Amino acid sequence: MLKLDEVSKVYKVGTFGGRALRAVQDVSFDVQDGEVVSLIGESGSGKSTIGKMILRLISTSSGVISFDGVDVSSLRGGARKEYYRKVQGVFQDPFSSFNPIFKADRVFRIVGQQFFPETAARKWDEKVESSLHAVGLNPEHVLDKFPHQLSGGQLQRFLIARALLLDIRFLVADEIISMLDASTRIDVLNLLADLKARGLSVLFITHDLSLGYYISERAVILYQGSVVEMGSTERIYDNPLHPYTRMLMASVPRLDKKWEQVESELRTRRNELSTGCVYYSRCGMAGKDGGCRTEKPALIEVESDHFVACGCCDQECP
């Protein structure tokens, strides 16, 4: 369905754009029909940049993003509008997605005006109510309300309902539960799982390993804009091979002991070298293989549906 092939994004920064900031570097992965893929990494790793490029909110610097075999950057006019019938996004802060001076259900009227102008008003109202019921909202309780009168969880469901009105096939879910309380989080996750069972594909962007494990069949681990490990969620979580993935696993808070400073177990930071492994400066095993300082490791399939970009992954952590 959706495929990224060697996609990169470079921003011009500094005085007069004299420096280049590479936010995403040669990222390749795909999402199949009815599949949930988690894109996992710390803040600043390029996760949201990838989501925005898929949604065409920003352009790619190189590489190709294709949907059903069509390069999305080539879409214009009606073709681009048709793309948004199939691909939509929901973002981290639901409050920023609504204009506070308009009632929240205005997002439904906009969808109706832009995509279904010939639909009768009564039939459209029925369609809206049906989409709200699908995400667990009672139309009587949420319609005709301003954003501040609704909770974050209700607003997130509003946005998912908006996407369902278009009968979408692919959803970019960018940290959609990070601002929600624990009880609401599980409801939204279960909603995504239910939509997946109906055939919806989801790119679930998160920094939370436990959430990625809970919801996805496959995972892509991103560090400084590069994929360092990807494959079956079960294989990656049961047998993390890249040192960054291992560090993420070790950093998950536990209830049975105090949090330990994982970074103290790693080597002192070295100077970043863009030509080498993106994780070189933090890797506790880098000294065992001098090649990774100057050469970027390629993604290699170490077992069925499990890829890792590390020349030292077969060694034990120090």
DSSP code string of 139-166: HHHHTT--GGGS-HHHHHHHHHHHHHHT
pLDDT at 289 over 60: no
Per-residue pLDDT band for 317 (boundaries 50, 70, 90) equals very low
% of the chain residues with pLDDT over 70: 85
pLDDT at 262 over 50: no
Q: What is the arithmetic mean of pLDDT over 5-30?
A: 87
pLDDT score recorded for residue 291: 66
C-alpha span between 233 and 212 (Å, rounded):
8
Q: Compute the C-alpha angle 37/52/68, nearest 5°.
A: 60
pLDDT score recorded for residue 227: 92
pLDDT score recorded for residue 130: 87
CATH number for region 2-230: 3.40.50.300
pLDDT score recorded for residue 170: 93
Beta strand 300-303 with 306-308 is antiparallel
pLDDT score recorded for residue 278: 76
pLDDT score recorded for residue 245: 87
Per-residue pLDDT band for 160 (boundaries 50, 70, 90) equals confident
Residue 14 is classified by DSSP as S
pLDDT score recorded for residue 175: 85
pLDDT at 15 over 80: no
Closest Cα to residue 249, out of 257, 265, 258, 238?
238
Q: Highest mean pLDDT: which of 178-187, 208-217, 221-230, 276-285?
A: 221-230
Q: What is the arithmetic mean of pLDDT over 30-54?
A: 91
Q: Which of 104-118, 137-151, 229-243, 290-304 has the lowest mean pLDDT?
A: 290-304
pLDDT score recorded for residue 268: 38
Q: What is the mean pLDDT of the chain?
A: 82
Closest Cα to residue 173, out of 216, 205, 220, 215?
205
pLDDT at 114 over 90: no
pLDDT score recorded for residue 185: 74
Q: What is the arithmetic mean of pLDDT over 52-62?
A: 93
pLDDT at 246 over 60: yes
pLDDT score recorded for residue 316: 52
pLDDT score recorded for residue 315: 56
The residue among 220 and 317 whose pLDDT is bigger is: 220
C-alpha span between 186 and 191 (Å, rounded):
8
pLDDT score recorded for residue 266: 39
Tell me, yes or no, if the pTM score tops 0.85.
no
List strand residue ranges (DSSP E) for the chain, in order.
2-13, 19-31, 36-40, 62-67, 70-71, 87-90, 170-174, 201-206, 218-223, 226-232, 300-303, 306-308
Under the phi-then-psi rule, with left for phi > 0, alpha for psi from -120 to 50, and beta for the rest, what region is 286? alpha
Q: Which of 61-70, 143-152, 184-193, 309-318 has the lowest mean pLDDT?
A: 309-318
Six-digit token string for 296: 């970027």
For 197, phi then psi, to 5°, come to: -65, -25
Residues of the chain with CATH 3.40.50.300: 2-230
pLDDT score recorded for residue 269: 37
Q: What is the arithmetic mean of pLDDT over 185-201?
A: 81
